[in-house]
Amino acid sequence: MKFGVVIFPGSNCDRDAYYAVRDVLRQPVEYIWHQTTDVSGFDCIILPGGFSYGDYLRTGAVAKFSPVMSAIQEFADNGGRVLGICNGFQILCEAGMLPGALITNVGLRFICKYVHLRVENDSTEFTHVCESGQVLRIPIAHHGGNYYCDPNTLKRLESDNRVLLRYCDPAGKVNEAANPNGSLNNIAGIINDRGNVAGMMPHPERAVESLLGSEDGTLILQSIVERLS
Amino acid sequence: MAGVSEPGSRTVENTAPIAPEVYREMGLSDEEYAKVCEVLGRHPTYTEVGMFAVMWSEHCGYKFSRPILRLFKKYREAIDGAGLENAGVIDIGGGYGIVMKMESHNHPSAVEPFQGAATGVGGILRDIFTMGARPIACLDSLRFGPLDDARNRYLFEHVVGGIAFYGNCVGVPTVAGEVYFEDCYSGNCLVNVMSVGIMKHEDIAFARAEGPGNPVMLVGSRTGRDGIHGATFASVELSEESESRRSNVQMGDPFTEKLLIEATLEALKTGHIVGIQDMGAAGITCSTCETSAKAGTGMKIDCRKVPLRETGMSPYEIMLSESQERMLAIVKKGKDDEVAKVFKKWGLQAVVIGEVTDDGFVRVYDGDDLVAKVPAKSLADDAPTYYLETEEPRYLAEVQNYDLSHIREPEDYNEALLTLLASPSIASKEWVYEQYDHMVQTNTVVLPGSDAAVLRIRETPKGIAIVTDCNGRYCYLDPFVGAQIAVAEAARNLACSGARPVGVTDCLNFGNPEKPEAFWQFKRAVEGLAEACEFFDAPVVSGNVSFYNETPEMSIYPTPVIGMLGVLDDIEKRCTSEFKNEGEIIVMLSGSRGDDEPVCELESLGGSEYLKTIHGIVAGRPPKLDLDREKRVHQTVLELIAKGLISSAHDCSDGGLAVALAESCILGGIGAEVQLLANCAPASALFAETQSRIIVSLPTSGLKALREIAESHQVEPNVLGRTKSDRLVMSVNDVELLNVPVSELHAAWRGSIASKMKESGL
């Protein structure tokens, strides 16, 4: 199977995602330039973190017009796996490929730190090597990670079991104190209707080696590999 | 047209004299103006006088500091020999070199903290990637006035915000730094930004305009009116008027910088770029004349070809603009299209504005009109050098001879410790570093909060450790010793992480050098730095001088900040500062020669955080420093880490032994029980900042081996106690003085800065 990592102008976690796939998962991986309109040959496309186009406007608001995005939309429509991490998640929401939006953190400041995440649904393409209720330790680094959607959408997300990950305390309790950015229902990651497009604010690619302090992010990436291989 | 009303000749023919008030306003003295006329053999045009004023400012020309900087060995050798570029690369083995540099953005940050700090980050990053290195880390050394003042909180909030805005967006992790709060920095905050880059040795790029006929390209952002005479602004004291200098502050665009990093590194790989220099202070003026001067060539450019952000800019404005995110590239003839293609791929402009010539002159055309014709060397290298007077400051004798014997013991030692832990200079800097992306690029192995940041070097077993250091209060009390302690403490921090020092960059922040007392402080501090850096085999490879850090009310403490780089040959052999397990032995490694030597001396309360925070006194002499003793302690801890004998290592510095132990407890969530024997007042035993001490913890089984290793380095291990349960308990001469739950220590230390910033209601 082959991974692709998109480079938008201003992406800055593209290399990290690339290394995680190549050096830790040991899977084939290639960069995808934002002006490309052909994404054939890939099995999973990662939209990495960063500040696409500087994000001087709303996060992801410019990137969604990149030529590559229509190709990725088509790729997803045909069942291709897409994982948006941080800025990638923001772009997927802006592009309408995932519901809701990511607004400015309640504290109005950028936050970079390790957080705990509870796996909510272990039957997805992105989490199936985890177990529901399992607590993962993965870093966040964002200024706009506050997940928001309208009440109906939220209800549907919850009833369809499409919340992948929630911010929690080390014991797995989901509460206000463990919510770093004000996200509705402590949501840290979600999946689309069809189950092939996922977005998450935490950075799994930063938690793939014990040297870096955690290997829990590997579980997310490994889930994709195992299902597709 | 702005140019129409400019007070001076436009072209080089029949130039008229420039009025004294015009060149003085630009910062040139009457003698310097006369020298300009002598160099040119005529009066300068308006554009030329602006170019000389900015290049001969202290900020660009180092006209005051140069004679003193020669004390740095590498600087001396480089200036007399092959130039500064090669000297700046530190070989870490495996074919890799590290480049690093630190720079101040004090004055811009004092008037416009957000953009001032942001562009500080941008400028230092460009210094790194124009050398062909990929930036892998940033560090920030910051100084503010006390947080109970609203203006200081505003500056602190927005400086940190500006660094976060820029650093996070460009994707370079901000991994370490320091923040101190002292009265003397009210109104003149210090913002020193350091960047570290990595390259393969063969990829080094040079800032040389080689090859007459080669095209000269301007790449990156358009040129606007921002930052004109920024370097001149940096070369005067701050005053009431400084607020009106807001237009001297540049605006940062980190998105363009990110593109510029990628595009530049990619363009360098084409092999078509013969020379490249970033545009910081003095913009196009500086980059054209420095690159030509270095190569012994000349250059002609047409400023009408420079892409502009606004209409009607005069040659003077174009030559002096400090618009950010721009570079000058000298390209092999006929290859400019290929180079431009790379920049265009990244959405950046790359325009040919002129070519290299062979006669040593920088010629600036405005279309067909020659508006400046200046010998490159005279601008770049012939800034007048001044040998300024020095005089020992009058305050020194008074503060040094201050009688500390009447200092009372605190009524409650627990309270004193909690107060110290909550002092913003000691308290957790989590409020700061959580706003910085410190993990991007996935190399950060030891995150902010330990003694030094540790990064892995991909595809090698190695790591690097980085730290910044300077205790300005020590330098105020004795600039020579204070500067040496900065070096010793930085090296100690590296040793505690498992790294040996290999190089230093510095950022020397002082008051007005034209005042003999301030210049004396500068000279003594540089003497101290130079000696200590040579002693630790950590040569100063780059640096920056920032003078005029004063307001009419006060001058800053002399603050020679150093950034030190260390290497870990095997990154698996590293150490951090928190206690790891209960029931381990706590040992203090100090350079003392035997048990009979006291663990403290009264005089070392001098300059301490305890004296300042608890008693409101800044006086005494800074702690003594014996470099040889210091080094033996480092060698001991490095060997202990390499042999895997110890669980933690933490340097004993601000707040003394009690604070060092409290920090290891807080970070590890484990208590400790410690007994001290001391022949001095208990407060000194607990809080004196005696140098050359490292606290380690280890399993009992390793104690014998530790003793042997310590003794082989003539270091006496003092067994202090054990890690235990959830309280820090300390007794001195069998009297229990401290007994505090770790949770309470944690609360005082961790929440202090955040609560002070919240109260402010910003």
Chain A hits for B169, Cβ within 8 Å:
10, 12, 51, 54-55
Tell me the torsion sign for CA atoms B303, B306, B312, B317: negative
**Coil, helix or strand at residue B128:** helix
Q: Report CB contact under 8 Å: A203, B439.
A: yes
The answer to whether B345 and B269 are in contact (CB under 8 A) is: no
The answer to whether B97 and B87 are in contact (CB under 8 A) is: no
Q: Report CB contact under 8 Å: A19, B442.
A: yes
Q: Report CB contact under 8 Å: B571, A211.
A: yes
* Contact residues, chain B to chain A, C-beta under 8 Å: 161, 164, 168-171, 253-256, 258-259, 346-347, 433-442, 444-445, 447, 456, 458, 571
Chain B hits for A141, Cβ within 8 Å:
168, 437, 439-440
Q: Is A185 left (phi over 0), alpha (psi -120 to 50) or beta?
A: left
Give the chain B residue nearest A113 (alpha carbons): B434
b/e code B516-544 from CB counts within 10 Å (16+ = b):
ebbbbbbbbbbbbbbebbbbbebbbbbbb
Q: How many CB atoms lie within 10 A of CB B457?
A: 20
Q: How many CB atoms lie within 10 A of CB B305?
A: 15
Give the chain B residue nearest A206 (alpha carbons): B442
Q: Find where tokens 């101190």 sit.
A: B180
Q: What is the pLDDT of residues B524-539, one digit of tens each?
A: 999 999 999 999 999 9
Give me the residue from A9, A110, A112 closest to B259, CB to CB.
A9
Q: Report CB contact under 8 Å: A51, B169.
A: yes
Q: In what order do the strands lie in the sheet with B500-509?
A: B444-446, B453-456, B463-469, B559-568, B500-509, B540-546
Q: Which of A67-81, B85-99, B161-175, B393-407 has the lowest mean pLDDT?
A: B85-99
Chain B hits for A55, Cβ within 8 Å:
169, 255
Give the chain A residue nearest B459 (alpha carbons): A23
pLDDT for B83 equals: 63
Q: Which two tokens stand for residue B206?
A: 């040079």
Give me the residue from A12, A53, A55 closest to B440, CB to CB.
A12
Give the chain A residue nearest B442 (alpha carbons): A206
What is the mean predicted confidence (pLDDT) over A11-25? Answer: 97
Q: What is the pLDDT of residues B1-23, one digit of tens each?
A: 344 578 999 999 999 999 999 99
Contacts of B642 (CB under 8 A, 6+ apart): B498, B573
Catalogue the active-site residues of A. Answer: 86, 203, 205
Q: Which two tokens stand for residue B280?
A: 């910081």
Residue among B450, B417, B477, B426 nearest B574 (CA): B450
Residue among B712, B721, B734 nearest B587 (CA): B721
For residue B671, CA distances in Å to B655, B674, B711, B743 come to 18, 10, 28, 10
What is the mean predicted confidence (pLDDT) over B390-415? Answer: 94
The answer to whether B191 and B104 are in contact (CB under 8 A) is: yes
B544 has pLDDT over 50: yes
Identify the bridge partners of residue B282 per DSSP, sorted by sequence position: B280
Q: Report CB contact under 8 Å: A212, B444.
A: yes
Greatest distance between any 2 Cα atoms in chain B: 88
Mean of the per-residue pLDDT values of chain B: 93
Q: How many CA atoms lie within 13 A of B483 on its CB side?
A: 24
CATH number for A63? 3.40.50.880
Work out the pLDDT band at B217, boundaries 50, 70, 90.
very high
Chain A hits for B347, Cβ within 8 Å:
9
Interface test with B, best of A14, A57, A110, A209 (most B CBs within 10 A): A110
Backbone angles phi, psi at B423, to 5 degrees: -65, 125
Q: How many CB atoms lie within 10 A of CB A156?
A: 14
CATH superfamily placement of domain B1-87+205-383: PurM-like C-terminal domain (3.90.650.10)
Catalytic site includes residue B105 = yes
Contacts of B269 (CB under 8 A, 6+ apart): none
pLDDT for B453 equals: 97
Report the C-alpha gap between A214 and A217 in whole angstroms. 7
Q: Report CB contact under 8 Å: B169, A19.
A: no
Interface test with B, best of A62, A90, A112 (most B CBs within 10 A): A112
Report the C-alpha gap between B55 and B62 in whole angstroms. 9
Q: Which of B134-143, B233-242, B615-624 has the lowest mean pLDDT?
A: B233-242
Q: Report CB contact under 8 Å: A13, B440.
A: yes
- How much of chain A exceeds pLDDT 70, in percent? 100
More confident residue, A229 or B706: B706
Interface test with A, best of B169, B324, B343, B457 (most A CBs within 10 A): B169
The shortest C-alpha distance from B304 to chain A (Å) reads 29
Q: Which two tokens stand for residue B213?
A: 């006929």
Q: What is the pLDDT of residues A133-177, one digit of tens each?
A: 999 999 999 999 999 999 999 999 999 999 999 999 999 999 999
The answer to whether B618 and B751 are in contact (CB under 8 A) is: no
What's the CA angle centered on B86, arms B105 and B497, to 5 degrees? 65
**In which domain, by residue range, is A140 found?**
3-228
The one catalytic residue among B105, B158, B634, B713: B105
Q: Report CB contact under 8 Å: B258, A13.
A: no
Could you say which DSSP state residue B514 is in? T
Q: What is the pLDDT of residues B477-491, one digit of tens each?
A: 999 999 999 999 999
Q: How many domains does chain A have?
A: 1
Q: Which two tokens stand for residue B569?
A: 């040959």
Report CA A177 to chain centroid distance, whole Å. 22
pLDDT for B212 equals: 97
End-to-end Cα distance, chain A: 6
Report the C-alpha gap between B286 and B376 in whole angstroms. 10
pLDDT for A171 equals: 97
Contacts of A194 (CB under 8 A, 6+ apart): A79
B342 has pLDDT over 60: yes
The shortest C-alpha distance from A159 to chain B (Å) reads 34
Instruction: Look up the pTM and report it.
Output: 0.95
Q: Which of B90-94, B376-380, B456-460, B757-761 has the lowest mean pLDDT?
A: B757-761
Chain A hits for B445, Cβ within 8 Å:
211-213
Helix (H), strand (E), coil (C) string for chain A:
CCEEEEECCCECCHHHHHHHHHHHHCCCEEEEECCCCCCCCCCEEEECCECHHHHCCCCCCCHHHCHHHHHHHHHHHCCCEEEEECHHHHHHHHCCCCCCEEECCCCCCCEEEEEEEEECCCCCCCCCCCCCCCEEEEEEEECCCEEECCHHHHHHHHHCCCEEEEEECCCCCCCHHHCCCCCHHHEEEEECCCCCEEEECCCHHHCCEHHHCECCHHHHHHHHHHHHC
Q: How many CB atoms lie within 10 A of CB A194?
A: 9
pLDDT for B271 equals: 96
Q: What is the pLDDT of residues B610-641, one digit of tens each?
A: 999 999 999 999 999 999 999 999 999 999 99
b/e code B424-456 from CB counts within 10 Å (16+ = b):
bbbbbbbbbbbbbbbbbbbbbbbbbbbbbbbbb
pLDDT for B231 equals: 65
Q: Where are the alpha helices (DSSP H) in B56-149?
A: 58-61, 66-69, 73-80, 84-87, 106-111, 113-129
B712 has pLDDT over 80: yes
More confident residue, A156 or B79: A156
B428 has pLDDT over 50: yes
Query: Which element (helix H / strand E) includes B648?
Result: strand B648-651
Q: Is B307 left (phi over 0), alpha (psi -120 to 50) or beta?
A: beta
The one catalytic residue among B59, B229, B634, B713: B59
Q: Which of A87-96, B100-109, B421-430, B751-760 has the lowest mean pLDDT?
A: B751-760
Which residue type, as a one-letter code, is found at position A41? G
Task: Check if B1-87+205-383 and B395-427+575-762 are the same fold.
Answer: yes
Q: Which two tokens stand for residue B298?
A: 């000349």
Chain B hits for A25, Cβ within 8 Å:
none
A104 has pLDDT over 60: yes
pLDDT for B481 equals: 97
Q: Report CB contact under 8 Å: A110, B442.
A: no
Q: In what order do the strands lie in the sheet with B190-200?
A: B89-93, B96-104, B190-200, B134-144, B174-181
Q: What is the pLDDT of residues B275-302, one digit of tens each?
A: 999 988 889 999 999 999 999 999 999 9
CATH superfamily placement of domain B395-427+575-762: PurM-like C-terminal domain (3.90.650.10)
Q: What is the pLDDT of residues B654-665, one digit of tens each?
A: 999 999 999 999
pLDDT for B241 equals: 72
Chain A hits for B161, Cβ within 8 Å:
109
Chain A hits for B571, Cβ within 8 Å:
211
Q: Which two tokens stand for residue A157?
A: 């997300």
What is the mean predicted confidence (pLDDT) over B435-445? Answer: 98
Q: Report CB contact under 8 Å: A111, B444.
A: no
Q: Has the ipTM of the complex gone over 0.95?
A: yes
Give the chain B residue nearest A51 (alpha carbons): B169
Give the chain A residue nearest B347 (alpha carbons): A9
Mean of the per-residue pLDDT values of chain A: 97
Give me the residue from A54, A109, A139 closest to B439, CB to CB.
A139
Per-domain residue ranges of chain B:
1-87+205-383, 395-427+575-762
The shortest C-alpha distance from A202 to chain B (Å) reads 12
pLDDT for B87 equals: 63
pLDDT for B761 equals: 47
What is the mean predicted confidence (pLDDT) over A44-53? Answer: 97
Give the chain B residue nearest A59 (alpha carbons): B169
Report the C-alpha gap between B47 and B45 in whole angstroms. 5
Q: Report CB contact under 8 Å: A51, B254.
A: yes
Give me the residue from B255, B440, B571 closest to A16, CB to CB.
B440
Chain B hits for A19, Cβ within 8 Å:
442, 458
Give me the residue from B255, B444, B458 closest to A54, CB to CB.
B255
The shortest C-alpha distance from A20 to chain B (Å) reads 9
Q: How many CB atoms lie within 10 A of CB B754?
A: 15
